[in-house]
Chain A
Amino acid sequence: MENKQTALGHIGFSIFAWIVGLLIFFPIFWMVLTSFKTELEAVSIPPSFMSFDWTLENYAEVQARSDYFRFAMNSVILSVGSTLVGLLFAVPCAWAMAFNPTKRTKDALLWMLSTKMMPPVGVLVPIYLVFRDWGLLDTRFGLIMVLFLMNLPIMVWMLYTYFKEIPSDILEAARMDGATLPKEIIFVLLPMAVPGIASTMLLNIILAWNEAFWTLNLTTADAAPLTAFIASYSSPEGLFWAKLSAASTMAVAPILIIGWFSQKQLVRGLTFGAVK
């Protein structure tokens, strides 16, 4: 009796999960589909589902009109760059918090995270002015700095939860073995934390890749990443759904592929070390 009920419960839960999954996936699916339609079919009502003339002309036109690879290269540089700079600061910070905690460590962590609760637009004007005065507007360096600072709290928090899982005995053993602090971190802590560091990097690359507020507001051309590439298709001449879809598909494709191949790492990362 009870077994039957739990079995039914499992099926019900699976159906629910599938529905939620499909709902989340549908817009992406629709975007990809639309990118293969003509502009006319893209806005036709009722929308055609599969029975339309598949065309690649949107991709051809998008490629012809703007230089996809230049934007893509900027996206790679900004997301990877900001993540690497972030690690440089987040690793020592998380080490200190995880292995030498004080009474205020928890407060400091919460405070760091709370900075993420403020809407970025609240600091847009001061940051814009600083960027203008320091000549950082539309530079990759400036954007890397902003993106790294925006994501630093999440990096510290994630690495902290991972480091917490590492028994401090092992680091103490290294200390007894004569390792200095840098050696302890490089030869013992980091190799043990590789899965955690990988998921932290992955999540931050994705966050930085998709970041559209600062990248749109602080760039014009030279440092503009794929978010700006997409935005350029919702232009004053009116919306071109099919071309916009093609541009968006091209913009999310790399990160989608990376995400697909690193699902396991990502799930681990997103659960913040809750599952071992």
Chain B
Amino acid sequence: MGAIRLEKVKKTFGTLDVIPGVDLDINDGEFVVFVGPSGCGKSTLLRLIAGLEDVTDGKILINGTDVANEAPAKRGLSMVFQSYALYPHMTVYNNIAFGLKMAGESKAVIDEKVQNAAKILNLTDYLERRPGALSGGQRQRVAIGRAIVRNPAAFLFDEPLSNLDAALRVNMRLEITGLHQELKTTMIYVTHDQVEAMTMADKIVVLQAGRVEQVGKPMELYNNPANKFVAGFIGSPKMNFLGGDYARKYDCHEVGIRPEHVAVSTESGDLPATVKIAEHLGAETYLHVNADGFGPMTVRATGEVPLGEHDKIWLTPERDRIHRFDANGIALGKL
């Protein structure tokens, strides 16, 4: 059981107002991802929930009890750090067992839980090694093992995959998602990578400068971003923004068009453009073009597209996929 509720949580470091005030509801069993650019306060918010930082003001309720002034150990949460933060002088076994030892569990119980976690995480053959003798992916699994044996109310992850190479990252992403499906425990996962957010989350919380910009399911954020910031942050390559005459045609200050929602033609269309760089990935092609009168745009075409530098093309955005924004960057709703 792990329902977490933040009420007007504030955090200042000296005069620096890092979290001006966050309200948030996290349901039991949910996989919630905090996503936002580097320095926006994701880690700080997570550390406030963990109890590693003291709140300046506000309440943190875990299953209805305010724990804002409790020590981390009293909150019944487990955390996986970006740096893994394994105990370098202990074997894998003792790393995983440490929390149980601190809780005063008996040797037999500890052994059973550690062996069980090791089996789930494929670490059985490595239990007697030190963290220094493990690969990045294995260290990550030890860190997760250490978190799961304590049977926490919720797991907290702070950018756990950012020290892994790209291939391993995809694997671990799937493993963590699988773990969530198996354990059904609440997970709060911090990342700056919107792909991780989109692929793993039940619910995404987009943060900017310590403020919650939008909360929603991945597809809600993708289809109905509340503002320009969310629209630009979610989705890759980034959404294109066009102002001026083109926006006026749609009765707004700016329109946003995702690269995958633009049709490309060599004969006719809405916007004339010139290809600058074509990135051919086989399954899709990214065209970085210069739209006449609007400047750089990115277009994503499926499959192989025989276009290259200097080619003249026409772009036609899908009309019902156009996002409209007012002068403050707030979404105006679709046409």
With A169-B81, A169-B83 as known contacts, state yes or no: A176 contacts B88, CB within 8 Å. no
Interface status of B77 (Cβ within 8 A of chain A): yes
Q: Select one of B79, B87, B103 contacting A176, CB under 8 A.
A: B79
The prevalent SS among residues of B at the interface is loop
Query: In residues 55-78 of chain B, which contact A (Cβ within 8 Å)?
Result: 71-73, 77-78
Residue of B nearest to A183 (CB): B102
- Specify which chain A residues have a CB less than 8 angstroms from the CB of B79 in the assembled complex: 172-173, 176
Whether A175 lies near B85 (C-beta < 8 A) is no
- Specify which chain A residues have a CB less than 8 angstroms from the CB of B77 in the assembled complex: 176
Whether B52 lies near A192 (C-beta < 8 A) is no
Q: How many A-B residue pairs have CB under 8 A?
A: 57
For residue A143, give the distance in angstroms from its CB to the closest CB of chain B: 35
Interface status of B50 (Cβ within 8 A of chain A): yes
Most buried by A among B71, B102, B146: B102
A188 to B94, CA, bound (A): 12
Q: Select one of A167, A176, A187, A191 contacting B73, CB under 8 A.
A: A176
Interface status of A46 (Cβ within 8 A of chain B): no
Whether B89 lies near A176 (C-beta < 8 A) is no
Whether A188 lies near B87 (C-beta < 8 A) is yes
Whether B102 lies near A170 (C-beta < 8 A) is no
- Specify which chain B residues have a CB less than 8 angstroms from the CB of A178 in the assembled complex: 73, 99, 102-103, 150
Interface status of B314 (Cβ within 8 A of chain A): no
Whether B52 lies near A172 (C-beta < 8 A) is yes
Interface status of A177 (Cβ within 8 A of chain B): yes
For residue B62, give the distance in angstroms from its CB to the closest CB of chain A: 14
Q: Select one of B52, B85, B89 contacting A191, CB under 8 A.
A: B89
Interface status of A179 (Cβ within 8 A of chain B): yes
Whether A175 lies near B72 (C-beta < 8 A) is yes
- Specify which chain A residues have a CB less than 8 angstroms from the CB of B83 in the assembled complex: 167, 169
- Specify which chain B residues have a CB less than 8 angstroms from the CB of A194 in the assembled complex: 89
Whether A177 lies near B85 (C-beta < 8 A) is no
For residue A179, give the distance in angstroms from its CB to the closest CB of chain B: 5
- Specify which chain B residues have a CB less than 8 angstroms from the CB of A177 in the assembled complex: 73, 98-99, 102, 146, 150
For residue A28, give the distance in angstroms from its CB to the closest CB of chain B: 38
Whether A173 lies near B85 (C-beta < 8 A) is yes
Query: What are the interface flags for A163-195 relative to B under an 8 Å C-beta threshold, 1 for contact and 0 otherwise?
Result: 000010110111111110001000110011010
A178 to B100, CA, bound (A): 9
A263 to B295, CA, bound (A): 65
Most buried by B among A167, A173, A179, A191: A173
Query: In residues 255-269 of chain B, which contact A (Cβ within 8 Å)?
Result: none
A191 to B98, CA, bound (A): 14
- Specify which chain A residues have a CB less than 8 angstroms from the CB of B99 in the assembled complex: 176-178
A173 to B103, CA, bound (A): 14
5 pairs of A and B residues whose beta carbons are closest in the complex: A177-B99, A169-B85, A178-B73, A178-B102, A173-B85
> 13 other contacts beyond A173-B146, A175-B72, with CB at 8 A cut-off?
A172-B85, A173-B79, A173-B85, A174-B98, A175-B71, A176-B99, A177-B102, A177-B150, A178-B73, A178-B102, A188-B87, A192-B87, A192-B89
Binding site for B on A (CB under 8 A): 167, 169-170, 172-179, 183, 187-188, 191-192, 194
